[in-house]
Amino acid sequence: MRPEQKRKIVQRRRWRIRKKLHGTAERPRMAVRFTERNIYVQFINDDEGCTLASASTRHKAQTGRETLAANKAGAEVLGQAAGEAAKTAGISKVIFDRCGARYVQDGKIDIFAHAATRAGLDFGLNLEKKKKSELKKAAKEEKAQKPKKEKKAKKEKKAEVTEPAAETKKAEPAKNGEKAAAAE
């Protein structure tokens, strides 16, 4: 795939995500941007159009900034730093904006998000809803498995039912004939 096409795809993903997110003063948008070498985080109030706090791998206050990069280790360190920067600005609840980056389990974005939550940021995720959805998925999987077993059982029952029914049908005409002969 050409670099121009990749950029267009990422830009469309960025727009699609941004369309659904809006930061306020009480709950600003935490925009996380991973470039090839660095990570940038901003806490943005979209109502006023201003940045409330920021952190990055290039920030002067960041310790060990020469060794930090846009990888999993850097994401974990910067997640902690972003949480601390938000606390100093008085921010506790945020809306997470991954800026078009793919969310992969145990990837850079996932590690960054977990580090930020450990630092005290609340993403507003209701874990009870998540548990309920997991239970619903498990129930759906059970239902999906049951019909297969039931179909097999129904086929077996039909086979059992048809065999004795055939025997009874043969026996019934004989009985009816015997009854008719006895009645005459």
Instruction: Give pLDDT tens digits along the chain (184 positions).
Output: 899 998 899 899 889 988 888 998 899 999 999 999 999 999 999 999 999 999 999 888 888 888 888 889 999 999 999 999 999 999 999 999 888 777 888 889 999 999 999 998 988 766 555 566 677 777 777 777 766 666 666 667 666 666 555 555 555 555 555 555 555 5
The CA-atom distances, in angstroms, between 27 and each of 48, 85, 99, 101 are 13, 15, 17, 21
Angle between helices 72-88 and 108-118 (to 10 degrees): 30
Q: Which pLDDT value is given to residue 149?
A: 60
Q: Which pLDDT value is given to residue 48?
A: 93
Q: Which pLDDT value is given to residue 182?
A: 52
